[in-house]
A and B are shown apart, each in its own frame.
Chain A
Amino acid sequence: MMKHDFSHQTDAALYAMFSGTADEARSALEEAYNRYSQRIYAYCRRILGDDHAAADMLQETFVRYYDQGRNGKVLLNHASYLFKIARNLCYTHRDKASRIGGEVEDYHVPVSDVPYEHRELIGLIKNALEEVPHDLREAFVLREYNGLSYQEISEIIGESMDVVKVRIFRAKKKLREILKPYVSEFE
């Protein structure tokens, strides 16, 4: 099997190669996965609060992205499209989970090579995020965890820029309020 180096290719070029030979498609999909999987996974984890479900959503996101490429669907912003797929999958998963027995709880255990104080801080942020309303949390996650611009967030969630600004502002205010008693311990 030939291994291609597609690291210099654009997202659109990789996407077009999904319809090529099996070797090309595989290398292109691996490159796209390497570029975006961490960000998509971070988004799914924080939206769902469940690492296993997040892994499933990550896999399904790229399966659908690949299928769209094979079917010849035209895309302009690939990162935005990937987040849209992930967002829809996460919402569906949450709805289904709530129908069959309430909130799906996280049983992720942080990896052992993360220092203890960092784990504690990560846990603190995670718990604080769960206190934030879902629409505010999503905007915050897309901005802080995924590094997306307000414009990109606006495209993904389908709201205006002003709405995005307000949501991020309120989310950060809320988080700051929750974390304020603990900040001095970690500074």
Chain B
Amino acid sequence: MSLSHDEALYLFVDGELDASMEEPLFSELAYNESLRNELKDLLFMRNAVKRDDVAPPLFVKDKLLTAVGLATTALGAGGGAGTVALGEAASSTMQWWNGLWMKVALPIATAFAGAAMVWLVEHKDDAPQYVAQDGYTNSVLAPNGDVWSSRHSGMLPDYRQNTVTNTISQTEGVRQNANAQTETITQKHTQNASANSEDIGAIKSAFRAEKSRLLVTNAALQSSLQSALERNAALERNAADMGKRIAGIEQENNSLRANTASQQPLASQQNSTAAPQQAAIQPMRFNPSMLNLRHSASVLPSSYEDGAAKTQGFTILRLRGISSQSITQSHVRPESSSILDNAYLGVMYQITPGFSAGIEAGREAFVQSYHGRVSDRVMHVQQYPQLWNVGVVMNYRLASFNAGAPLDVVGESTVGGAMNGGPFARQSFGLRYAMSGNVSLFAGAQITGMGYQFQDTWFSTLKYGLMYGINYSFN
């Protein structure tokens, strides 16, 4: 193959010229000044290129080792054999610490702060409510310390009129006899009534004493519903005992009544002219329902009722979908309309009838794009991450906006972090529809703030959209 002189020169400079062709080239160089200048220019270019020998950034090796699962937090992780620079080690440690803070500590701290806020909002009225109803009037405390609503009109014993009539006979002897018997009967009835009143007083005193004791142990009893139920049963047994005692008293009353009736024919035979005497006797009939410790459903949680559906203390499994649109333009926009690409699976625990908390994990896919100026240069770059998020969720019923069963207005706060991104927080409001059985549906609006790293720079963004899903309650 024949080569021109300059072609041979270029091959020679690159070490690719066949040795047999070197001699003609050198001979030409000796006479050809233009060729010699070309050689000088080639060598100049080569020297210039060598000066543009930039080492890759130090962080690339760390990111590489992390990407393949070989990262370590030890100092000097990114160093070569025996040549690890102290600066590289420090840089690695700082990156590790920054990553730990942004991905772990910050979301956890935010989660605790959010949970504390929700707890305070949910419980701000609890203590005054119980204290205010703790009057020492006509209220009776339930065994768990909650206040019964007990009005006299509905709870006082049922009195029954029982009239005894004595007749004074025309004869003095009969009259005296009848008077004596009437006096005896009246005394006995009065004694019975007094005894009954004492019983009622004793019962009231017992209740008041129990009430005082329960007031003192209110907090402890609240935390132990099971214990309270057992106490409830014991009190009900006491009520049954009291009912038996009252039944005995009534039996004695009936006996006295029979005696009185037996005197009436005798008085009639004497053709009495004396005005009949009436003695109003009011033996107390103690209604066992007075000791019925069933409370008002409007005061105590309905979960306290036997046979009623549980409204707290159970687990909820749920699936939630997210569909969102960026507010801050040019950073994040939805990548996929697929439901599963933006879905979360969560496990919640119903702490009170209106409040539940749990954790939620799922995936969100985005295009992260940046279009702007950096160092006076126009930049346009983008990537397609799929963030795996884990967060703490607090769900609360907004009683002020009660929509009426089976609909509830609910709010929800989520804070957490992405395994391959930064922290995020989400606030949702919507409606929850309780279907028959254990299933409920929910839908609403949500707004999300999130941080993410792109091109070694942290960005933050806000996006809004819909959320929708389904709950299954294990109650």
Contact = CB atoms under 8 A, between A and B. Distances in A.
Interface in A4-59: 5-7, 22, 25-26, 29-31, 33-34, 37-38, 41-42, 45, 51-55, 58-59
A183 B44 CA distance: 8
Interface stretch (A75-83, A101-109, A130-138): A101-109
A180 to B, nearest CB: 7
Contacts of A149: 15-16
Contact of B46 (A33, A38, A144): A144
Contacts of A187: 44
Contacts of B49: 125, 144-145
A102 B371 CA distance: 12
A91 interface: no
A110 B51 CA distance: 12
Given A97-B380, A176-B41, A183-B41, A143 B61 contact: no
B54 A176 contact: no
Interface stretch (B68-76, B163-171, B348-356, B463-471): B68-76
Contacts, number: 132
Contact of A169 (B10, B56, B381): B10
A67 to B, nearest CB: 8
Nearest to B82: A5
A172 B70 contact: no
B68 A121 contact: no
Interface string B37-64: 0100110111011011111110111011
A145 B16 CA distance: 17
A149 B17 CA distance: 12
Contacts of B38: 176
Interface string A147-187: 00110000000000000010011001001100110010011
Contact of B51 (A3, A118, A168, A172): A118
A33 B81 CA distance: 12
B53 A42 contact: yes
B382 interface: yes
A101 B41 contact: no
Given A100-B382, A150-B14, A179-B45, A30 B61 contact: yes
A74 interface: no
B38 to A, nearest CB: 7
B92 to A, nearest CB: 13
A107 B51 contact: no
B45 A172 contact: yes
Contact of B10 (A100, A104, A172): A172
Contact of B380 (A5, A29, A100, A144): A100
Contacts of A126: 52
B64 A62 contact: yes
Contacts of B48: 121-122, 124-125, 186
Interface of A (DSSP majority class)? helix
B379 interface: yes
B67 interface: yes
Contacts of A105: 377-379
Contacts of B80: 30-31, 34
B105 interface: no
A63 B44 contact: no
Contacts of A34: 80-81
Contacts of A122: 48, 51-52
Contacts of B81: 3, 5-7, 31, 34
A97 B51 CA distance: 29
A176 B42 contact: yes
Contacts of B53: 38, 42, 145
A85 to B, nearest CB: 13
Given A55-B60, A100-B382, A107-B375, A29 B54 contact: no
Contact of B60 (A7, A31, A58, A114): A58
A156 to B, nearest CB: 16
A38 B81 CA distance: 16
A102 B378 CA distance: 10
B455 interface: yes
Contacts of A101: 371, 380
B241 interface: no
B11 interface: yes
Interface string B439-466: 0000000000000000110000000000
Contacts of A172: 10, 42, 45
Contacts of A42: 52-54
B11 A165 contact: yes
Contact of A168 (B10, B46, B52, B61): B10
B85 interface: no
23 contacts: A1-B74, A7-B81, A26-B65, A29-B70, A30-B61, A37-B56, A37-B60, A37-B61, A41-B55, A51-B57, A63-B67, A67-B68, A100-B380, A101-B371, A101-B380, A102-B380, A105-B377, A122-B52, A125-B49, A144-B45, A172-B10, A176-B38, A179-B41
Given A30-B65, A176-B42, 19 more contacts: A7-B81, A29-B64, A29-B70, A42-B53, A59-B64, A63-B68, A97-B381, A100-B369, A100-B380, A101-B371, A118-B51, A150-B16, A165-B7, A165-B16, A169-B7, A172-B10, A172-B45, A175-B45, A179-B41
Interface of B: 7, 10-11, 14-16, 38, 41-42, 44-46, 48-49, 51-57, 59-61, 63-65, 67-68, 70, 72, 74, 78, 80-82, 369, 371, 374-375, 377-382, 455-456
